[in-house]
Structure 1
Amino acid sequence: MCIKKTIFYTGALFLSLPTSLYAAEGQTIEWLTLLMGLFGGLALFLGGLEQLSDGLKQAAGDALKTMLSKLTSNRFMGAVTGSVVTGILNSSSVTTVLVVGFVTAGVMTLQQSVGVIMGANIGSTVTAQLLAFNIAQYALLPIAVGFFMLFASKKDIIRNYGKMLMGLGLVFYGMGIMGDAMYPLRGYQPFLDILQRMENPLLGILAGAMFTGLVQSSAATVGIAIAMAGGGLLSLPAGIGLALGANIGTCVTALMAAMGKPPEAVRAAVVHVAFNVIGVLVWLPFISSLASIAVAISPPSPELEGVARIAAEVPRQIANANTLFNVINTIVFLPFTALFALVAERIVKERPAAPAVIEPLYLDSALLEVPTMALDGVRRELTRAAELLREMIQSFQGAMVTGDLVALRRLVNEDDKIDILEQASIEYLGKIRGNALSEQESDEHQRLMACAVNLETMADVIEKDLVGLAERSRRVVYQRSETSKQMLQEIFGYVSQAIDFLIPTIRDKDVESAEAILDLESRITRVGKAFLVRKSERLGNVPEAVTIARLEVSAVDKMERMYSLCKHIARTHLSEAE
């Protein structure tokens, strides 16, 4: 909400800014007004991009997750996926950060990530193509319409589209403000001299890379270049230099995301840097050819002359050159994805693994950019916890049969593992809650939080209660009947089955598994009652028999509690299906 308020307040400030404050060509430049317009317009531009990206991510979160989950090792499909996802997310940096997270989590191999990273550069040009349409004068309309959709509707889908529309309007309005602010510079010779030096491709690339690394948005750099070109301030070669530099500067975000991550994630970031830097270096001698192709495929304005013609033609030419650069690079380098992966593996060596009880695999901060994917990461982590719980109950049953007290005490370590995953999942869910969630995502958030707590409670029942009861029963010298043993084993078996069904219920949201858990209730209740009746009828005055009866009835109670927790998780997932 803070970002949203900042956008509104900043927008309100510049909506009320009179255009007469800007000096006409040849007059003295009011630097304070110019800087306010330039940086204020940039703030609106970046805020609008974030608003647009948030709306897109919330509207298409499930689609993104489906696309990435079905990603194959086919490099061409990877490139297409990277292009589409980046076009939706509105940022190649965000896509690369997500890829780093997927590689870290083991969801995606390094070679798969190479194709996605290459395709992401194509998707990033969609924003530039949109910006090349000179519709700043109409920007207030989508802002107004998007505002009322966002705040008047209670439906998530309409609010998301409203957020997208308002963000798009703010992007164009911010560009318009920046263009108006820079208009007086058309007659300021020192600034024109700087732009003249920008004709040198190396200076343009350096400036574009530095600015993009600073604001962490290649769209902002290309947007400013298009805004300057639209004011007649920037030539095509200088604009191409800035766009190429933006492709290098956007690597900063990926490198920052990979810091402190496993080698696989660092390698994905290295691939991103290598692809973009090599691509720029290859094109460096051919910038004039790229400019010629961009001019040939862009619509001309022969009816105009001088600065007016530059302002009409160059913005689209810059956008087209940026798209051409990234499309051709991807086509040329795509057959060499395996080579890129191999070089990255040679550069980034494996690090010796640090000793740890257990660490989360799927709770990567990069996934927080898309709440749907972040929630899916929590679900995968809780599936691991459920698998550990199944191992605990199986180990407990085996130790009870063999009387292995060492194996029983070893279950404490297994409980610690589940505690770690549960705590990490809850903390990660807290970070997810920092985003704006749809109603569906909020429901999923609540289900996963309850699931995490229930799994940890079941592990505690085994470690704190059942293990303690087993150890105490081993110290009592008393020959239990085979019937009682069989009834206890039967209840253990049913609870173990419930935990078996719990894994596909959590992992796949499998309705049949959830229903199978509920179907076990009548059997567990029947055996539990029968066991209690048997103990009641056979309870005598022998102290050892009384002690064993008390311990066994308590064990049945604990197992019924575990089943009750399984049942709660199953019911929450069935309510989602309904």
Structure 2
Amino acid sequence: MSTGLFGGLALFLLGMDQMATALKAVAGDRMKDLLAKLTANRFMGALTGAFVTAIINSSSVTTVLVVGFISAGLMTLSQSVGIIMGANIGSTMTAQLIAFQITDTALLMIAVGFTLQFASKRESIRHDGGILMGLGMVFFGMSVMSDAMVPLRSYPPFLDFMRTLENPAVAILVATLLTGLIQSSAATMGIAIVMASQGFINLPTGIALALGANIGTCVTALLAAIGKPRAALRAALVHVIFNLCGVLLWVAFIGQLAAIATAISPTYPSLSGAERLAAEAPRQIANAHTLFNVANTFIFIGLTRQFARLVEWLVPEPPPGAETMAVQAKYLDEELLSTPSLALDRVRLEVLHMGESVDKMMARIMPAILSGNRQTLREIELMDNDVDTLHAQIITYLGKISRQALTEPQTRTLMDLMSAVNDLENIGDVIETNLIVLGRARIAEGVSISEPTRKVLMGFHRAVTRAVSAAVQAVVQNNELAARTVTSMKQEIQRIADSAAIHQAQRLVAEEPNRIPAYTIEIDIIEKLKRIYYLAQHMAKTVASDDTSDFD
């Protein structure tokens, strides 16, 4: 009996994972775009959150996406509250599916899904096969658990335990602990539906278990927020507070909720006793679960701003200068690794984060070379540590993505992003290793850069800085227009470089003090800026479709 119970549960969870993975592979990228666009107001946000979660079968992935949008400034915390509320509704669709109890066709679904997944050469069909096979495993696991429970009908200790669940507080506590342990509210609902199909629990007990599952699923959100930016912790707290308030609101009205669920669910008056309970309770529990979450969303949807202010008060922004920790990746989330398309988009956002550090170095380096002191140069040199740290974290994350099952386009994207990240890190190294040295040489040699030369070098620096920013934009947004802007700057950069070189040659023959050291330093600055442009151009070419020749 234990073998059947735990083996059936293992099949059930494996099927859920298989189905979720295939669904995210099919719909993940499109759902991300939908989530980003349809959040104009709280009601649309809730509807979108419900739809996305129902499609990708994961409220945690929806929450992770929301955190990324908040961190990137694409969405406010107040907007995210509606989406998180809607995600609770979407998560009930799994229980609705499970309640159909199509156990007779489970093995056929597994067989057909396996054939599609392993015999077809088309990737879309293989994913469809994965969805079907996962669904079949869910129903087959339920069937195994259901059969294993038959002897429990006459086992007094188990029946005594089932009677304790008639106390709503006990049922909520048990479901909370079980959901927190197995990290799946859908699995808890599946077990509740299996027990209902055997006549072990009635509808009020099933509803209490559903309430407990709603609390237990918050554990997943809290665990996912550990070590993440404040946006992630705030989103997790929204989830926790919303679910707790919903359970506290309804725990006294379980009877009324059961009556509504009974009224809208199919009945089987031809049956009686345990048989009728077993036939009606699964669908009633699933409907009550959906009703509970839909009602909560409508009740609390008008309080999204209040929820946002509450969690901002609970998790305030640190005072200026309070955070002295080394820079950390803001967007890379382990939760998304099983959905490569979403994980690769997170890498693009992290490239933006890394690019911001490089932009700061670019903005400060030329004034520091021309007139800064050793302290200023040292500060810029230390800024490269942030670039190196982010580079290491992004490359590590890309390595984890590469171990997933990637499509050919995803593999190309991964290689392009790896190349772009390396180029961006090399730009930081050119500043730290080469340009900083030239600034120190200027100080050591006592060289004074003339005003005309400053204007020439600053003009060249502005053009190269513009190219680096456009290259980062091209990679982050997958923007081919921005990429072409960088590659089309080749002639402009060459013209400015030639003009600067002529100016330096004219200075060399002029009677000026320290003209030889000044000439050497200034020519080296031009060469290093040309090197930075080459790296920016190489970054852009990972996005541009044309084959623009390299800059020489």
Please give the TM-score of this superposition, normalised by the length of structure 2.
0.88
User: Are 1:497 and 2:457 an aligned pair?
Assistant: no
Which stretch of structure 1 is more off in the superposition, 545-554 or 146-155?
Answer: 545-554
Paired position in structure 1 for 2:146 = 179
Preserved contact between residue 94 and residue 369 of structure 1 (Cα < 8 Å): no
Measure the CA separation in 1 of the matches of 2:302 and 2:494.
62
2:118 maps to a residue whose letter is F
Paired position in structure 2 for 1:513 = 482
Measure the CA separation in 2 of the matches of 1:116 and 1:126.
16
Sort the Cα spacing of 1:480 and 1:244 in 2 relative to 1 into closer, same or farther, 3 A: closer
Measure the CA separation in 1 of the matches of 2:547 and 2:96.
41
What runs of 5+ residues in structure 2 fail to find an aligned partner?
Answer: none
Which stretch of structure 1 is more off in the superposition, 91-100 or 530-539?
Answer: 530-539
Residue from 160, 172, 182 that aligns with 1:215? 182
Paired position in structure 1 for 2:400 = 431
Paired position in structure 1 for 2:345 = 376
Paired position in structure 2 for 1:196 = 163
User: Are 1:293 and 2:260 an aligned pair?
Assistant: yes
Preserved contact between residue 150 and residue 162 of structure 1 (Cα < 8 Å): yes
Which stretch of structure 1 is more off in the superposition, 556-565 or 473-482?
Answer: 473-482
Sort the Cα spacing of 1:218 and 1:464 in 2 relative to 1 into closer, same or farther, 3 A: same
Q: Percent identity, aligned pairs only? A: 49
User: Are 1:248 and 2:218 an aligned pair?
Assistant: no
Sort the Cα spacing of 1:544 and 1:440 in 2 relative to 1 into closer, same or farther, 3 A: same
1:145 maps to a residue whose letter is V
Preserved contact between residue 447 and residue 517 of structure 2 (Cα < 8 Å): no
Sort the Cα spacing of 1:555 and 1:155 in 2 relative to 1 into closer, same or farther, 3 A: farther
Which stretch of structure 1 is more off in the superposition, 439-448 or 322-331?
Answer: 439-448
Paired position in structure 2 for 1:259 = 226
1:235 maps to a residue whose letter is N
Paired position in structure 2 for 1:308 = 275
Measure the CA separation in 2 of the matches of 1:362 and 1:525.
37
Measure the CA separation in 2 of the matches of 1:63 and 1:430.
24
Map 1:552-567 to 2 at 5 A. Answer: 552-567=522-537
* 1:277 alignment partner, SS class: helix
Preserved contact between residue 412 and residue 463 of structure 1 (Cα < 8 Å): yes
1:563 maps to a residue whose letter is Y
Paired position in structure 2 for 1:568 = 538
Preserved contact between residue 101 and residue 367 of structure 1 (Cα < 8 Å): no
Measure the CA separation in 1 of the matches of 2:301 and 2:198.
37
Preserved contact between residue 370 and residue 454 of structure 2 (Cα < 8 Å): no
Residue from 114, 118, 136 that aligns with 1:147? 114
Preserved contact between residue 63 and residue 84 of structure 2 (Cα < 8 Å): yes
- Report the Cα offset of residue 199 of structure 1: 2.3
Which stretch of structure 1 is more off in the superposition, 109-118 or 449-458?
Answer: 109-118
2:384 maps to a residue whose letter is D
Measure the CA separation in 1 of the matches of 2:314 and 2:206.
33
Preserved contact between residue 387 and residue 503 of structure 1 (Cα < 8 Å): no
* 2:354 alignment partner, SS class: helix
Sort the Cα spacing of 1:303 and 1:341 in 2 relative to 1 into closer, same or farther, 3 A: same
Residue from 344, 360, 364 that aligns with 2:311? 344
2:297 maps to a residue whose letter is T
- Per-residue CA deviations over 1:251-282 (Å, capped at 9, x if unaligned) read 11112223344554333323322222222222
* 1:133 alignment partner, SS class: coil
User: Are 1:415 and 2:384 an aligned pair?
Assistant: yes
Paired position in structure 2 for 1:114 = 81
- Report the Cα offset of residue 237 of structure 1: 2.0
Preserved contact between residue 507 and residue 519 of structure 2 (Cα < 8 Å): no
Sort the Cα spacing of 1:281 and 1:537 in 2 relative to 1 into closer, same or farther, 3 A: closer
Paired position in structure 1 for 2:34 = 67
Measure the CA separation in 2 of the matches of 1:223 and 1:373.
28
Measure the CA separation in 2 of the matches of 1:200 and 1:430.
50
1:463 maps to a residue whose letter is E
Measure the CA separation in 1 of the matches of 2:154 and 2:50.
41
- Report the Cα offset of residue 539 of structure 1: 8.0
What runs of 5+ residues in structure 1 fail to find an aligned partner?
Answer: 1-33
Paired position in structure 2 for 1:10 = none
Which stretch of structure 1 is more off in the superposition, 561-570 or 65-74?
Answer: 65-74
Sort the Cα spacing of 1:515 and 1:432 in 2 relative to 1 into closer, same or farther, 3 A: same
Paired position in structure 2 for 1:56 = 23
Measure the CA separation in 1 of the matches of 2:244 and 2:448.
77
Which stretch of structure 1 is more off in the superposition, 102-111 or 42-51?
Answer: 102-111
Paired position in structure 1 for 2:436 = 467
- Per-residue CA deviations over 1:108-143 (Å, capped at 9, x if unaligned) read 433223212211111111001111112111112222
- Report the Cα offset of residue 535 of structure 1: 7.5
Residue from 387, 395, 398 that aligns with 2:356? 387
Which stretch of structure 1 is more off in the superposition, 262-271 or 440-449?
Answer: 262-271
Sort the Cα spacing of 1:314 and 1:469 in 2 relative to 1 into closer, same or farther, 3 A: same
Preserved contact between residue 100 and residue 258 of structure 1 (Cα < 8 Å): no
* 1:354 alignment partner, SS class: coil
State the Cα RMSD in Å. 3.2
User: Are 1:228 and 2:195 an aligned pair?
Assistant: yes
Please give the TM-score of this superposition, normalised by the length of structure 1.
0.85
Paired position in structure 2 for 1:31 = none
- Report the Cα offset of residue 98 of structure 1: 4.6
Sort the Cα spacing of 1:576 and 1:286 in 2 relative to 1 into closer, same or farther, 3 A: farther
- Report the Cα offset of residue 202 of structure 1: 2.1
Measure the CA separation in 1 of the matches of 2:452 and 2:493.
16
Measure the CA separation in 2 of the matches of 1:57 and 1:89.
5
1:185 maps to a residue whose letter is L
Preserved contact between residue 115 and residue 129 of structure 2 (Cα < 8 Å): yes
- Report the Cα offset of residue 571 of structure 1: 0.9
Measure the CA separation in 2 of the matches of 1:349 and 1:486.
45
Preserved contact between residue 55 and residue 163 of structure 1 (Cα < 8 Å): yes
Measure the CA separation in 1 of the matches of 2:501 and 2:474.
31
Preserved contact between residue 143 and residue 170 of structure 1 (Cα < 8 Å): yes
Measure the CA separation in 2 of the matches of 1:338 and 1:164.
38
2:350 maps to a residue whose letter is E
- Report the Cα offset of residue 178 of structure 1: 0.7
Paired position in structure 2 for 1:328 = 295
Measure the CA separation in 1 of the matches of 2:161 and 2:451.
93
- Report the Cα offset of residue 36 of structure 1: 0.7
1:279 maps to a residue whose letter is G
